Structures are given as C-alpha cells and as structure tokens.
Amino acid sequence: DIQMTQSPSSVSASLGDRVTITCRASQGIRSWLVWYQQKPGKAPKLLIHTASSLQSGVPSRFSGSGSGTDFTLTINSLQPEDFATYYCQQAHSLPLTFGGGTKVEIK
C-alpha cells in the first residue's frame, strides 16, 4: 500500500496569513493526489484533484502543486472559513490511502 505522510499535524495561523501543508507519498504517484477540507461534524469537501486542479467552486486562494512523491497545499490570505482540517489522499492506485491530516487553527 502507498503510505501518505502529512506535515505539520497542526499549524496556528492568523487571518491573512499564507499556510503551506505538505504531503509525501511512499512511492511515486505522478499527479494523482487529492486534497480535502473537513470542518468539525461535517463530511470532507474536495478542494483539489490531480495535484493542482481546483475543484469547481473552490476559492482561488487555494492552490496545489507537486508530482511524484512530494506535494503542497497552499492557502493564501487565510480566511475565517479556512480554519479546518486538511487531508491528502493518493488516487494513483487501490487501495486508496489518506494522510493523517493537518489542523489549521487560529493563532
């Protein structure tokens, strides 16, 4: 199975900050990487697919990059609604696997 490692596990940031979350795959997955946002008590929401393609309706302050084994989710100009937990997931091969999550908290 492909292991997904996210860092950091949590980050404290202020409104307007730029936040960067990284995700590393245990083997190359080309660009088959997905990012989700999850708020407490809610289902995850798809933000980015194929590493850098923004899902319809997602604000442009979210961006993704990377290929192979190393990937990044960047949130520019953090907004109040962005405080949540973010997960990466590899979509290269089954079984699918998620990263451990990164909680973005208010500083």
Nearest to another protein of 1, 105 (CB atom): 1
Whole-angstrom Cα distance, residue 13 to residue 70? 23
- For another protein, the binding residue among 38, 63, 69, 76 (CB under 8 A) is 38
What token pair was written down for 29? 């997955």
Minimal distance in Å, beta carbon 61 to another protein? 19
CA dihedral 72, 66, 60, 20 (to 10 degrees): 20
Whole-angstrom Cα distance, residue 89 to residue 21? 13
- For another protein, the binding residue among 44, 58, 67, 72 (CB under 8 A) is 44
For 12, 41, 54, 84, the CA distances from 17, given in Å and listed in that order, are 10, 25, 20, 15
Minimal distance in Å, beta carbon 104 to another protein? 15
Minimal distance in Å, beta carbon 103 to another protein? 11
Rule CB under 8 A: say whether 36 interacts with another protein. Answer: yes
Q: Which residues bind another protein (CB under 8 A)?
A: 1, 32, 34, 36, 38, 43-46, 48-50, 55, 87, 89, 91-101
